[in-house]
């Protein structure tokens, strides 16, 4: 018996509180005539967020010659695009640090998995000269936002979902859809739509486990979905914060070729080797946010 | 008890009592744990990939824990050179999971399966054999080795920790 979608989406309101400023800033930045004073006001109204932005801007990651003391200062040295990424990273951490017990994720696991996927996505975006690596970072970061909302339902139906995965050899997200009525990707996509995220982020959240399905569904940016799909798969293969659903997903190897990446065993192993070398960067980012 | 948590690609050999060597979140990687029961010496490596031949890093010596063909001799040959006897070594491995659609080893993305094969091969080529293995499947594992008594533990996610 599928669950009620309105009830599931009600869980989103708890998470939205953290995302409120990020959504507002994102919408303001999508407007080309953005007023910097207004933007600073919206961010500065959130004291905790402002403090974390300033801490991050003054961290070893940037090593600016002078101390950054205001949001106006921060905008002038790092620019809008990076500021948006930082804000999404901060608010995502606040929501994703929680224990997601339905998926067997301990406190901090979902965050570890997401920040690794974000860094890996930005890296692959750079490799293929994708035009907005920071957007790839944000997409990689937010792909599992639906897990925070579907958590209680996965917990309730866990045995049925897992039995279906094992008996029919289907992906965990497909089993979620069959038992609950919706997968975490679909719920994440619906919430992102409700919160008026950019369409390419909505599509990535929705199709990150099924990039092939995206090809038949009017998605603007298939490459971004493929980047996040590969990064998510490799991040899980490296064991970053994975839960009970572990590796119970399919990986679409055709994404490599479609992105212009070589896909022989040695090419994939080289790519993984390079990605693993980014792990200290992930730790640094983690400690400065 | 102090735990030493090995990062991805890290390798440790120790005789320090009161330590537990730990690898958390083993997925496609392999945890190699070795114990010399006579010398009470323990070794562990968090192996990421089967072969160092793909490495383009200048100094392979700095990251030999990352690859099966360098990490296995990195632990076993080192322990033998420190005085361990082959017959005293207990060798256990865990990990090597694969994603759902990758069950045959020919798939270029099936790192888990290739890691298992490469680690076994590297161990056998030194004239040694694996005492116990808990590998494959889809679920992440945690591997532990107590330096003082050589007790091995494994925890598969969703299950209790057991002696291994």
Going along chain A from its start, the domains and CATH numbers come out as: 5-288 (1.10.3210.10)
> Among A242, A266, A268, whose Cβ lies nearest the Cβ of B27?
A242
Residue A16: pLDDT band (50, 70, 90) is confident
Q: Is a pLDDT exceeding 70 seen at residue B102?
A: no
Confidence of residue B104 (pLDDT cuts 50, 70, 90): low
Contact A246 B107 (CB under 8 A): no
Given a contact cutoff of 8 angstroms between Cβ atoms, the answer to whether B75 and B63 are in contact is no
CA gap A255, A225 in Å, rounded: 9
* Residue with the two structure tokens 């640094």: A284
A284 pLDDT band, cuts 50/70/90, is confident
Collect all residues of chain A within an 8 Å Cβ-Cβ radius of residue B138.
Answer: 246-248
Q: Do A250 and B50 touch (CB under 8 A)?
A: no
Q: Looking at A30-34, A268-272, B137-141, which range is the least confident one? A: A30-34
Element housing A50 (H / E) = helix A47-57
CB-CB neighbors (< 8 A) of A239 in chain B: 8, 24-29, 140
Give the residue numbers of B marked as catalytic: 29
Could you read off the pLDDT of B26-41 as tens digits, one per residue?
A: 999 999 999 999 999 9
Q: Which residue in A has a C-alpha nearest to residue B30's C-alpha?
A: A238
CA geometry: angle A57, A60, A64, nearest 5 deg = 55
Are B139 and A247 an interchain contact pair (Cβ–Cβ within 8 Å)? yes
pLDDT digits (tens, 9 = 90+) for A56-108: 999 888 888 889 999 999 988 888 888 989 999 999 998 899 999 999 999 99
Of the candidates B109, B107, B106, B100, the one whose C-alpha atom is nearest the C-alpha of residue B138 is: B100
For A210-219, write each residue's pLDDT tens digit.
999 999 888 9
Task: State how far the alpha carbon of B97 is from the alpha carbons of A101, A246, B101, B115, in Å.
Answer: 22, 9, 12, 9
The DSSP secondary structure of A196-211, one letter per residue, reads: T--HHHHHHHHHTT-H
How many angstroms separate the CA atoms of A231 and A255, rounded? 11
What pLDDT shows up at residue B37? 94
CA B90 to chain A, closest CA, distance in angstroms equals 26
- The residues of A whose Cβ lies within 8 A of any Cβ of B are 104, 169-171, 233, 236-244, 246-251, 253, 263-270, 272-273, 276, 279
Those residues whose C-beta lies under 8 Å from the C-beta of residue B51, and which sit 6 or more positions away, are: A269, B67, B68, B69, B118
ipTM of the complex: 0.93
Q: Out of A240, A242, A251, name the one closest to residue B109 (CB).
A: A251
Q: Which domains does chain B have, with CATH numbers?
A: 2-163 (3.30.1330.200)
For residue A213, the model assigns a pLDDT of 93
What does the pLDDT read at residue A137?
Answer: 96
Half-sphere exposure of B93 (CA within 13 A, CB side): 29
Tokens encoding A12: 């989103």
**pLDDT the model gives residue B5:** 96
Spatial strand order of the sheet with B30-36 comes to: B11-14, B41-47, B30-36, B89-95, B132-135
**Contact assignment for B157 to A276 by CB distance below 8 Å:** no
Task: Determine the distance in angstroms separating the CA of B35 from the nearest CA of chain A, rounded to an integer.
Answer: 25
Nearest residue in chain A measured CA to CA from B9: A276
């Amino acid at each position: 018996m599928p669950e009620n979608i309105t009830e599931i989406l009600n869980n989103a309101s708890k998470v939205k509180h953290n995302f409120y400023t990020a959504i507002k800033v994102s919408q303001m930045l999508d407007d080309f005539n953005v007023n910097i004073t207004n933007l600073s006001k919206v961010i500065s109204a959130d004291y905790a967020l402002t403090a974390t932005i300033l801490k991050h801007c003054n961290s070893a990651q940037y090593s600016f010659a002078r101390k950054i003391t205001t949001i106006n200062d921060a905008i002038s040295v790092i620019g809008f695009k990076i500021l948006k990424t930082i804000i999404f990273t901060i608010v995502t951490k606040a929501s994703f640090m929680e224990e997601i017990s339905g998926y067997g994720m301990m406190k901090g696991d979902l965050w570890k998995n997401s920040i690794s996927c974000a860094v890996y996505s930005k890296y692959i975006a750079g490799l293929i000269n994708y035009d907005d690596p920071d957007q790839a970072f944000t997409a990689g970061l937010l792909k599992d936002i639906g897990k925070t909302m579907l958590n209680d339902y996965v917990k309730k139906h866990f045995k049925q979902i897992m039995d279906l995965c094992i008996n029919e050899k289907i992906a965990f997200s497909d089993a979620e859809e069959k038992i609950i009525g919706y997968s975490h990707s679909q719920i994440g996509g619906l919430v992102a739509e409700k919160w008026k995220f950019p369409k390419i982020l909505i599509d990535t959240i929705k199709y990150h486990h099924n990039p092939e399905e995206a090809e038949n569904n009017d998605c603007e940016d298939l490459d971004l979905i493929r980047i996040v799909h590969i990064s998510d798969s490799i991040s899980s293969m490296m064991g970053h914060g994975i839960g009970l659903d572990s590796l119970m997903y399919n990986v679409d190897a055709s994404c490599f070729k479609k992105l212009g990446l070589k896909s022989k065993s040695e090419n994939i192993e080289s790519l993984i080797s390079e990605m693993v070398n980014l792990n200290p960067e992930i730790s640094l980012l983690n400690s400065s946010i | 008890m102090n735990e030493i948590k090995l990062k991805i690609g890290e390798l440790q050999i120790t005789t320090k009592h009161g330590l537990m060597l730990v690898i958390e979140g083993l997925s496609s990687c392999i945890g190699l744990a070795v114990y010399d029961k006579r010398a009470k010496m323990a070794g562990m490596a968090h192996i990421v990939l089967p072969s160092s031949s793909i490495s383009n890093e200048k100094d392979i010596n700095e990251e030999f824990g990352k690859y099966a063909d360098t990490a296995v001799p990195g632990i076993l040959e080192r322990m033998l050179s420190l005085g361990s006897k082959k017959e005293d070594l207990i060798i256990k491995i865990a990990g090597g999971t694969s994603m759902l659609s990758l069950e045959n080893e020919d798939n270029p993305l099936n790192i888990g399966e290739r890691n298992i094969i490469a680690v076994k091969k590297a161990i056998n080529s030194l004239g040694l054999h694996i005492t116990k293995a808990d590998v494959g499947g889809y679920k992440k594992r945690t591997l532990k080795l107590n330096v003082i008594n050589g007790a091995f533990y494994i925890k598969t996610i969703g299950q209790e920790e057991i002696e291994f």
